[in-house]
Structure 1
């Protein structure tokens, strides 16, 4: 890997607070490009244009991701004075349609929670923890990584808000519903019985915290017991359900952007795929001219 490329990765880590998985993905994409056209700091526009043929058999989303990594690198190289030109325009720009997120129906959510609440009645710490995790995923729209790494100190005492550290180390406040607060109180009452009582994490596991992989597994297993297709259940699907169901209830898109921790409103706009019939009914019921005609 070239010195400029390494410096770019170090910048991502130091200035943008990029996570290790993100850095690894950038490294793979940049190293792959350098294997094809050489040192990116010295690659010509013609060299960069050759990548289109090399990436021809890749999925459009993969090409878009690789191109994004290189565009950011070239911009950085120009800013640092390592290049006089930015050859990014020579990169292929596949047009990809962003897929709509998978969501759960209200009935599916009720079945999932019904099963979790039934199992929590056993008083077993694992079942109570499961309910608390579920309540925070769907009730507060947390990312899986944000949820499992919550420190014990983040649990609200009086204010119904939770402090979350999101992507890039950005902190935000998210609401905690009454149901979630009750589930958290039940979990805290038995948390010491689950081991790692001295851990600083809300959901401790093996001297650290519950992993995202284990959270994923727990939800799949719960879905199966609830009679739902496990393939349609994941932490991210519950986050999608949180966002979509709030929009259906009339939530403002800007408010939703804040709750989800999106830096760009365009990311939040993917959730505007609400039922067309509901929107028509809303216009007919709320528009001034519609009311005047009735």
Structure 2
């Protein structure tokens, strides 16, 4: 793939840059703040997002996006979903005409209800074959520590997906390829919302039966929405569906689960944000756009609706649980 530019130095962008470097790919990172870029380049650590983890000396970092993009044949987009468009509008003129664009962002854009690959194509004018997405059970700190994990790289161009696969395959990170971009993106967006619901239940003191029930019914919501948009339901049974869902709903490393747990214990949105160290819990905004997308396509998503009501309409977590339990009983 040649040189890779990783645009975004949060926890996942940093971890993925490490994966690329460990796989032998030449990597330059862009960080919004100069002090983050300097720490990565000079001290080989990102103290702000992955403190305590040594990064390969081969990774270079800069706060100048033009420098990061200069000559890059692979552009990794590692910023939050709701800020992807505004960032891309700045970066697009500096992106090479034939560069592969790989999105790590998971969400549905507010307002437009576009998936992230659609946003990328809309802003850059890139063909469908140049845009890929990566999704799976990829908790950043575990991967940065070299713990075994797998992921899915989805692209309409099978050869390009294989090139990306080779660029990030290591002894601890195993990428699979897929052509179902829609399925991977819907799985990635919806799992954050369901993780909020799992966290809320945990905050209320509920146990594993409840957690398993939420995960399973959340998966049903993901499949319904994905199929309505043209996804292959088998994708939801794989790493980008069940795999990502289980990891995000179950791990204390998940920002969405942590955010939901603080709401469940009676905290408000401000204190829940503080509990995630100010980092973005994508599901908080995506629950509204996922809900709107479901309404547009006539898809029933009661868990997503309940999460939206808690996060944006002032409903209490106990009332949301009561609303779900009070729904009409029916065949599974």
* TM-score normalised by L of structure 2: 0.26
Structure number with greater Rg is 1
Q: Which has the higher strand share?
A: 2
